[in-house]
């Protein structure tokens, strides 16, 4: 599918997956310097945290747009309350997590186990849609446990689309085992089944369908985009963030120069300084930048210098400057 920059789901053509503990606001700011167009997802935030928690769980930087809030929950009223707060704060999309298999999430009766309750998911989506104008989307798996037939998936999607009004689904193209596997194993062991996601788009051509799971290159992304509306990349975008530097050109078709890695590091300086002056801790920002020079000469020294120094009390921008100086200048990367 060709880029359609006029659709309200245009950004969804390429997105970075919600990843707990990884895609926090510092990470998203850094990713945004690499790509203007990519849709960024927050980590999953539970309705309980937003409604009862101490602290601002909806905080983000304005530079992050377009940014989607991923919610974890299954109480339609609570989800509506949180969606409304998020829309008021300017988020561009609300996404409901129907893919996480962790025990903690299952105890709260949300995440992947909700695939077995499509009527409830439809109610959740409908009650959020009633109170916000931004898209309300769902991220799900292709099945859970032994409920892994194509019909199980299509029943889920048709109920959530027809009764809930959901128009966009991101399909993590592997099923989840709700017991027996850790969340990490559940991202590795169940096999990927991209043709199932492609078939879903054929059978629900009016819906916006994005695929997720195991995508490592922009070339692979373009292959998926021949069948689907969007591609969501998780671990590879985090571990090898320079992948993002050509997304605007290769995926969104924009004609603009590709930033160098060192330029992106330098563009982080004002943000880092501003965050440090507000009491942030250097290591919390730089940990997301560790993979930037992956496979380049000097990468190990960059990584090591940051890992050994950014957590020290009082560590400041000089740590990043010194780490950057470990990359041979003549490489001009």
Ligand X SMILES: Cc1cc2nc3c(=O)[nH]c(=O)nc-3n(C[C@H](O)[C@H](O)[C@H](O)COP(=O)(O)O)c2cc1C
- Give, as ranges, the residues between 86 and 105 that touch ligand X (CB under 6 A): 97, 99-100
Q: Which of 233, 265, 292, 323 binds ligand X (CB under 6 A)?
A: 233
Give the nearer residue to ligand X in terms of CB position, either 139 or 196: 139
Chain residues 43-72 in contact with ligand X, contact rule CB under 6 A: 43-44, 70
Looking at the Cβ atoms of 211 and 272, the one nearer to ligand X is: 211
Give which of 272, 252, 271, 260 is closest to 317, Cα–Cα.
Answer: 272
On whether 214 is known to bind a ligand per the annotation, the reply is: yes
Subset of residues 265 to 324 that bind ligand X, contact rule: CB under 6 A: none
Stretch that binds ligand X, among 11-19, 126-134, 223-231, 295-303 (CB under 6 A): 11-19
Using CB under 6 A as the binding rule, the residues of this chain from 249 to 268 that contact ligand X are none
Contacts of 55 (CB under 8 A, 6+ apart): none
Stretch that binds ligand X, among 27-35, 233-241, 242-250, 255-263 (CB under 6 A): 233-241
Binding of ligand X by 172 (CB under 6 A): yes
Contact indicator for 22, 232 with CB cutoff of 8 Å: no
Whether residue 19 is annotated as binding a ligand: the answer is yes
HEC per residue, the chain: CCCCCCCCCHHHHEEECCCCCCCCHHHHHHHHHHCCCCEEEEEEEEHHHHHHCCCCCCCCCHHHCCEEEEEECCCHHHHHHHHHHHHHCCCCEEEEEECCCCHHHHHCCCHHHHHHCHHHHHHHHHHHHHHCCCCEEEEEECCECCECCHHHHHHHHHHHHHCCCCCEEEEECCCECCCCCCCCHHHCCCCCCHHHHHHHHHHCCCCEEEEECCCCCHHHHHHHCCCCCEEEECHHHHHCHHHHHHHHHHCCCCCCCCCCHHHHHHHHHHHHHHHHHCCCCHHHHHCCCHHHHCCCCCHHHHHHHHHHHCCCCCCCHHHHHHHHCCCCHHHCC
What the block records as the tokens of 115 is 């695939």
If one asks whether residue 37 binds ligand X (CB under 6 A), the answer comes out as: no
Which residue, 104 or 312, is less far from ligand X as judged by CB? 104
Q: Is 244 annotated as a binding residue?
A: no
- Indicate which single residue of 13, 14, 19, 46 sits in contact with ligand X (rule: CB under 6 A): 19
Q: Is 137 in the site for ligand X (CB under 6 A)?
A: no
Choose, from 27, 82, 100, 124, the residue flagged as catalytic.
100
For ligand X (CB under 6 A), the number of binding residues is 23
Contact string (CB under 6 A) for ligand X, positions 207-226, x = contact: -----xxxx-----------
| CB closest to ligand X, residue no | 234
Biggest CA pair distance of the chain: 59
Cβ of residue 107: shortest distance to ligand X, in angstroms? 16
Active site residue 27: no
Nearer to ligand X, 190 or 298 (CB): 190
Closer to ligand X by Cβ: residue 118 or 298: 118
Is 72 annotated as belonging to a binding site? no
What residue ranges bind ligand X (CB under 6 A)?
Answer: 17-22, 43-44, 70, 97, 99-100, 139, 172, 187, 212-215, 233-236
Catalytically active residues are 100
Binding residues for FMN: 18-20, 70, 139, 172, 212-214, 234-235
């Amino acid at each position: 599918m060709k880029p359609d920059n006029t659709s309200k789901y245009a950004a969804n053509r390429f997105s970075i997956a919600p990843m707990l503990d990884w895609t926090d606001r510092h990470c998203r700011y850094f990713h945004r310097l690499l790509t203007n167009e990519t849709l960024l997802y927050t980590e999953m935030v539970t309705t309980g945290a937003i409604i009862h928690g101490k602290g601002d769980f909806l905080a983000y930087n304005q530079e992050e747009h377009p940014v989607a809030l991923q919610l974890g929950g299954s109480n339609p009223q609570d989800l509506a309350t949180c969606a409304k707060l998020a829309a008021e704060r300017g988020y561009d999309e609300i996404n409901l997590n129907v893919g996480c298999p962790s025990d903690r999430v299952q105890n709260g009766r949300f995440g992947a186990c909700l695939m077995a309750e499509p009527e409830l998911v439809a109610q959740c989506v409908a009650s959020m849609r009633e109170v916000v104008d931004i898209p309300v989307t769902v991220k799900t798996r292709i099945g859970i446990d032994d409920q892994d037939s194509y019909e199980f998936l299509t029943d889920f999607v048709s109920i959530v689309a027809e009764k809930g009004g959901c128009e966009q689904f991101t399909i993590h193209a592997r099923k989840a085992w709700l017991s027996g596997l850790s969340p990490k194993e559940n991202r590795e062991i169940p096999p990927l089944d991209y043709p199932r996601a492609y078939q879903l788009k054929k059978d629900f051509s009016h819906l916006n369908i994005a695929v997720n799971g195991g995508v490592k290159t922009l070339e692979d992304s373009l292959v998926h985009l021949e069948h689907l509306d969007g591609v969501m990349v998780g671990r590879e975008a985090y571990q090898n963030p320079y992948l993002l530097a050509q997304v605007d050109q290769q995926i969104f078709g924009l004609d603009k120069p590709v930033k160098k890695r060192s330029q992106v590091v330098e563009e982080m300086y004002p943000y880092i300084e501003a965050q440090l002056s507000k009491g942030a801790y250097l290591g919390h920002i730089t940990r997301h930048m560790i993979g930037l020079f992956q496979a380049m000469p000097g990468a190990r020294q960059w990584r090591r210098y940051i890992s050994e120094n950014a957590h020290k009390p009082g560590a400041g921008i000089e740590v990043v400057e010194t780490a950057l100086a470990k990359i041979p200048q003549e490489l001009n990367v």
